């Protein structure tokens, strides 16, 4: 990969596994120093070691993105360690509990919204403050989902959180465009991650989910990470307030069953 992020400092939340880990590694390979955030310290340090083994520089900051104090400390530690903040991928999220609205508990709903939506808002808030303090310039990508563009039976809390992420993305992009800060969202369909294993673990459910993607497979974390790196690079310099859909054809038309 070309050094698309040479001399930049990046931040990745949810960097302990899956798409977040892969993006943190690709940020480093693209030339960035990386602050890796997550709740699981062991897995976060493993991501840092993978980055260092690839010749990059990284630091892990244990972070619960639903807590303002944690996010504030995360951004401050990234700046203390590397001097500034240039790019960020707000990726931390959970699937929550997928049940019909009438059976959804308030606790489960609040937890999903707190991490998936409030967490992105808090990250944007403190990242943008830092970028503005530096004089502007920067790029932020938020983790959306195809469920931020559609609904599905049982997915109300998750879908609501991801629709909210897209609204946050567009608003933040408009507020900061003249400051040279670009804000976009990436919206994948099913990707080969631990979350997908939890959602589609049963063989018949997995087969149904795979056949809902016209390409006949799930995406990979690297495919999403490659897109995020591009969106954060100067090659995407005219892109802001947008949602990049990576869905294997899922939203192209009626659900595919072939």
What sign results for the dihedral spanned by CA atoms 128, 191, 118, 37?
A: negative
For helices 156-176 and 106-113, angle between their N-to-C axes, nearest 10 degrees:
30
CA dist., res. 124 & res. 143, Å (int): 12
CA dist., res. 16 & res. 41, Å (int): 8
Per-residue buried b or exposed e for 91-113, using 16+ beta carbons within 10 Å of the residue's own CB = bbbbbbbbeeeeebeeebbebbb
The DSSP symbol for 217 reads: S
Contact (CB, 8 A) for 173 and 240 = yes
Catalytic option among 82, 126, 147, 158 = 158
Measured between its terminal Cα atoms, the distance across the chain in Å is 35
Q: Among candidates 135, 141, 113, 124, which has minimal Cα distance to 175? A: 124
The DSSP symbol for 31 reads: T
Q: Among candidates 36, 73, 246, which has minimal Cα distance to 143? A: 246
Tell me if residue 126 is catalytic. Answer: no
Which sequence positions are flagged as catalytic?
A: 158
């Amino acid at each position: 990969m070309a050094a698309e992020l040479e001399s930049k400092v990046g931040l990745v939340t949810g960097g302990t596994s899956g798409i977040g880990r892969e993006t943190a590694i690709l940020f480093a390979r693209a030339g960035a120093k990386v602050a890796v955030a997550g709740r699981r310290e062991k897995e976060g340090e493993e991501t840092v070691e993978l980055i260092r083994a690839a010749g990059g520089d990284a630091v892990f900051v244990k972070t619960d993105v639903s807590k303002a104090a944690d996010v504030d400390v995360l951004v401050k530690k990234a700046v203390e360690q590397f001097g500034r903040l240039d790019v960020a991928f707000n990726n931390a999220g959970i699937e929550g509990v997928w049940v019909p609205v009438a059976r959804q508990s308030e606790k489960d709903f609040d937890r999903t919204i707190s991490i998936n939506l409030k967490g992105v808002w808090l990250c944007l808030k403190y990242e943008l403050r830092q970028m503005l303090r530096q004089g502007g310039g920067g790029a932020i990508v938020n983790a959306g989902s195809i469920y931020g563009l559609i609904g599905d039976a049982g997915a109300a809390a998750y879908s609501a959180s991801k629709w909210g992420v897209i609204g946050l993305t567009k608003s933040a992009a408009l507020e900061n465009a003249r400051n040279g800060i670009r804000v976009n969202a990436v919206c994948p369909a099913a990707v080969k991650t631990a979350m997908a294993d939890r959602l589609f673990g049963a063989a018949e459910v997995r087969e149904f989910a795979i056949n809902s993607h016209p390409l006949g497979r799930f995406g990979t974390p690297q495919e999403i990470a490659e897109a995020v790196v591009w969106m954060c690079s100067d090659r995407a310099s005219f892109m802001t307030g947008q949602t990049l859909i990576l869905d294997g054809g899922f939203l192209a038309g009626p659900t595919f069953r072939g």
